[in-house]
Structure 1
Amino acid sequence: MHKINTATFDLNLLTVFLVLWETRSVTRASDRLAVSQPAVSHALRRLRDAMGDELFVNAKGGLVPTPRGEALIDPVREALGKINFALTEQDTFIPSLAQRQFNIAAGDLVEFSILPQLVEQIGKLAPGIMIRIAPIPDGPLANEQLESGALDAIIGARSFRGTGVINETLAQISVATLIWKRENLGKRRFPLPLYVKRPHVVIRTADRQGTIVDQTLAERGLQRQIGAVVQNFMTMPMVAARTGYICNVPSSMAETFADLFDLSVHEPPIAFPPTPMFISWHKRFDGDAAHVWMLEQIRSAVATV
């Protein structure tokens, strides 16, 4: 059996083989390939040497394939078709026909406030695409998963440093303050004395300096009381509704929580700086039309919320 070194084999020869098969003529093949006839003849000689077979022989009607040539045509046509598809897939991405899963790491804030809009949006435009939400990994692992493609994007309150990792600010998140509606606080702005006196239910954070709320209060020599620490945003208004504790939630979610748990919505007693929300991905996927489309859908969902 004739052995071929596929590592050094010139794939352009397969294109010449396919065109010769279809035209059965060196002259017509050269016209289709836009190269000279000697170039086609030279390519055919190289192909014959590599395959250890004539592949085509001259006959009255033109070039006729040998049995080896006939055995090669279907695999060669299929292989070239797959290569062509792989190289042009980015240009032919059609959301309505796509079958794909996107893996996005995010916290519960994103799941509650953004994911419903995103899923509804994508469901209408691309019903074959599924969104899978995963926990946000730690820094080094996050970079690895973004680079490998295990994660398509990370959405959260922090950016990630790493070679090739791109961070974009999606939004600036401001907070609103919730408390029992039975308190009958007539003012839109929450009273500062009550804010520092009444216990708060807060979200767990890994930031040793505390949240932007605690930092801003500390700058004024103030400190709030913490009555409970929970792991997700949904739990805070539930606890507040049972205890009368104060909670701060993203402004975009405040009215929904207030309606669900019979709470009243107020501006914080101090203007707390907004917290940025980032989306992070790896630049190696910037040429993937499906990935670019997915990022645009996320931006659109965030803008709508």
Structure 2
Amino acid sequence: MHISKVDLNLFIVFEAIYAEGSITRASLKMSLTQPAISHALNRLRQLFDDPLFERQGHVMTPTPLARSIIEPVRRSLRGFEVTLNGAARFDAASSERSFSLALRDVLEASVLPPLMAGVAREAPAVTLNTLQVSRRELESELAAGTLDAAIDILLPLSNDIRRTQLAGDKTVVLVRRGHPLVKRRALTLDTYLQLEHIQTSSRRRGPGLEDVELSRQGLQRRIRLRCQHYFAACRVVAETDLALTMPEGLARIVNQQFNNQLLPFPLDMPALDIYLYWHTSVDNDPANLWLREQILAAMAIS
């Protein structure tokens, strides 16, 4: 069937139902009546000769065919949007655009201050939303345009996702001043392995990067505490003999009020490389280009 015979608005409705899981919520999102949404869905069902969505309780569950076409549909809709937006130059000074950036919470403290300083200076009405998105969903969200960009470690994503490397970060070990096993600001590998450690992670289980590096040498440290946030871990370090291994840049921020010792990690460990990700469909989008420039500038001074 030729595209000229298809109402492309039907695919906007399709994506809305898929994203919301409900005809009611899709109608609210699009400011259309529920009968209008239902009518569009019926036309799509005839077009594809497939129900596309089946009601399970209060949720519209996509069929296998719907799941197979959602990403191409989202990429196409995003392409149309970029084409329309790209027709005009992005004027940061007058724009009221809202950008969404996927950012792990461990990076917020180092990335956001310089980033927002630059955004506020150049674009006083632009807003920024940072989100923690599952890495399994990162590519689909970038393709759909629900994310404008993402900052994360090196990830195995498809060629539809562009990336550029940002500044890396060294690994350091924090112990309290006056620690009985760490003297003269020196930390040997033997002493590191004698210490009891804090592991900071949002995951329930699994090793940290430092544990992977130790395991390569046939070594293992003792984890005494597993917690979620580096700020809390730094406070525990200040009040106990536990040690904390973490990225240096963040350590210098969250450790300011605790004044723990920052010591080099006692093994050669590659810097933790961070990458900026965006979808190929927004390569030349003026607004996205501006956002990426702001992020690159902020990471250069953070």
What is the TM-score normalised by the length of structure 1? Answer: 0.66
Distance 1:111 1:236 in 2: 17
* Structure 2 residue corresponding to 1:154, chosen from 144, 150, 158: 150
Q: Is 1:273 paired with 2:270? A: yes
Which of 204, 211, 216 aligns to 1:214? It is 211
How far, CA to CA, are the matches of 2:225 and 2:163 in structure 1? Answer: 33
Within the candidate set 96, 100, 125, 2:97 is matched to 100
Deviation larger for 251-260 or 237-246: 251-260
- Local SS of the residue matching 1:229: strand
Decide whether the 8 Å contact of 2:109 with 2:253 is kept in 1: no
Q: Does 2:145 match 1:171?
A: no
Cα distance change on mapping 1:268 and 1:182 into 2, 3 Å: same
- The question of whether the paired residues in 1 share the 8 Å contact of 2:107 and 2:250 is answered with no
Return the alpha-carbon distance in structure 2 between the equivalents of residues 115 and 195 of structure 1.
Answer: 32
Which residue type is aligned with residue 135 of structure 1? Q
Aligned length: 221
The answer (yes or no) to whether the contact 2:186–2:263 under 8 Å persists in 1 is yes
Question: More deviation in 249-258 or 199-208?
Answer: 199-208
Between the aligned partners of 2:261 and 2:88, the Cα distance in structure 1 is 51
Give the counterpart letter for 2:287 in structure 1.
A
Residues 143-187 of structure 1 deviation map (CA, whole Å, 9 limit, x = unaligned): 111011101111112324135111222122211111001227454
1:172 and 1:112 map into 2 onto residues whose CA distance is 15
1:218–1:207 CA distance, 2 compared to 1 (3 A): farther
Letter in 1 for 2:126: I
Report the 3-state secondary structure (helix = DSSP H, G, I; strand = E; otherwise coil) of the residue aligned with 2:109. Answer: helix
TM-aligned CA deviation for residue 213 of structure 1: 1.2
- In structure 2, the CA distance between the partners of 1:223 and 1:284, relative to structure 1 (3 Å rule), is same
Which of 230, 233, 236 lines up with 1:236 in the alignment? 233
CA distance in 2, matches of 1:222, 1:254: 24
Instruction: Please report how far the alpha carbon of residue 267 of structure 1 lies from its aligned counterpart in structure 2 after TM superposition.
Output: 0.9
Contact 2:234 2:258 in 1 (8 A): yes
Structure 2 residue runs without a partner (length 5+): 6-82
Q: Distance in 2 between matches of 1:90 and 1:250?
A: 42
Residue type of the partner of 2:256? Answer: D
- 1:104–1:152 CA contact under 8 A, matched in 2: yes
* Change in CA separation of 1:299 and 1:207 when aligned onto 2, cut-off 3 Å: farther
Do the aligned partners of residues 161 and 224 (structure 1) sit closer, same or farther apart at CA in structure 2, a change above 3 Å counting?
A: same
Shift of 1:87: 5.1
- For the residue of structure 2 that corresponds to 1:234, the secondary structure is helix
- RMSD over aligned Cα atoms: 2.4
Q: Distance in 1 between matches of 2:127 and 2:228?
A: 26
SS where residue 230 of structure 2 aligns?
A: coil
Q: TM-score, normalised by structure 2?
A: 0.67
Match of 2:128 in 1: 131
Q: 1:142 maps to which residue?
A: 138
Match of 1:247 in 2: 244
Distance 1:160 1:93 in 2: 31
Question: Within 5 A, what are the aligned runs for 1:31-50?
Answer: none
For residues 236-286 of structure 1, what are the alpha-carbon distances to aligned partners after superposition, in whole Å with 9 as ceiling and x for unaligned? 212212322101121112333333113111111222221211221101011
Structure of larger gyration radius? 1
- From 197, 202, 207, the equivalent of 1:200 is 197
C-alpha separation between the residues in 2 aligned to 1:233 and 1:258?
Answer: 9
- The one-letter code matched in structure 1 to 2:270 is P
Letter in 2 for 1:224: R
